[in-house]
Amino acid sequence: MSTYITLPNVRRRKIPEEFKDNDNRFSESLVEYFLEKYTKKGDIVLDIFAGLGTTLFVAEEMERIPFGVEYSEARYIYIRENLQNKDNIIYGDSLKLLEYNVPKCDFCIASPIYMNKSETENPYTAYTTKGTYKQYLEDTRKIYSNVKKKMKHNSKIVVEVSNLKKDDSVTTLAWDIGKEISKIFHFEGEIVVNWTSNSSENKDGFYGYGYDHSYCLVFSNK
């Protein structure tokens, strides 16, 4: 397994104006890389944090079958309007994944909504309720416990995540999430993704959160 790749941090798909101030999508190139590496045409691909639908749209373009869950109603509506397999995007909560009609999947790629250790609102409820970093990590583990029951044997699970710099502090989010999910799946290792950009501005890193890179944690469902 290659442990270091370089990809352009470019989002090709145009999105509505209402989402541009909080455009936290990963690049289509990331999804393309892993779908080419771990899947084939006709495979079922799951994204439990569908966001603005990048994984699902790329999966369809590459002739895979996408399934996704999205907590935000506005984002869910946007994905559904633009997805060919419209019934395969679910408006719901990944903590309730087992309640939804999702088949056994061949591959899962997702990026959890990030939380800094100093934050006090819950990312998994779109910041509408109070929360702690400890609870966030526990919920992440619960979500991936649900994912395990939806994955085929020996399937791969990729989690794209970064550590977070803020002021003089670092939240070791990548390590903490990796530790939690390793309680559920076999951890095969991390792939460092070096992000490049055509922009001359690099105040917060080409990736963001103070970094030019992120990590793709690779797990298998043994």
Cα separation of 42 and 64, whole Å? 5
For the chain, the domain total comes to 1
Cα separation of 219 and 203, whole Å? 32
pLDDT in tens, the chain (222 residues): 789 999 998 888 888 888 888 888 899 999 999 999 999 999 999 999 999 999 999 999 999 999 999 999 999 999 999 999 999 999 999 999 999 999 999 999 999 999 999 999 999 998 999 999 999 999 999 999 999 999 999 999 999 999 999 888 999 999 999 999 999 999 999 999 999 987 656 668 889 889 999 999 999 999
Count other C-beta atoms under 10 Å from residue 16's C-beta: 10
Predicted pLDDT at 13: 86
CATH of the domain at 215: 3.40.50.150
Cα dist from 1 to 6, 38, 165, 182, whole Å = 15, 11, 28, 18
Rounded to 5 degrees, what angle do the CA atoms 47, 222, 192 make?
Answer: 55
Residues in contact with 111: Cβ distance below 8 Å, sequence separation at least 6, in sequence order = 26, 49, 51, 159, 160, 161
β 4-8/186-196 pair status: parallel
Cα separation of 62 and 74, whole Å? 25
Cα separation of 70 and 180, whole Å? 22
Rounded to 5 degrees, what angle do the CA atoms 138, 106, 177 make?
Answer: 20
Residues in contact with 23: Cβ distance below 8 Å, sequence separation at least 6, in sequence order = 11, 15, 52
Predicted pLDDT at 20: 87
* SS3 of residue 72 by DSSP: coil
Q: What is the pTM of this model?
A: 0.95
Token pair for 161? 């995540």
Predicted pLDDT at 107: 99
Predicted pLDDT at 17: 87
The DSSP element (H or E) to which 5 belongs, if any, is: strand 4-8
For residues 81-105, one letter each, b for 16 or more C-beta atoms within 10 angstroms of the residue's C-beta and e for the rest, the string is: ebbeeeebbbbebbbebeeeebeeb
Domain of 46?
A: 4-220
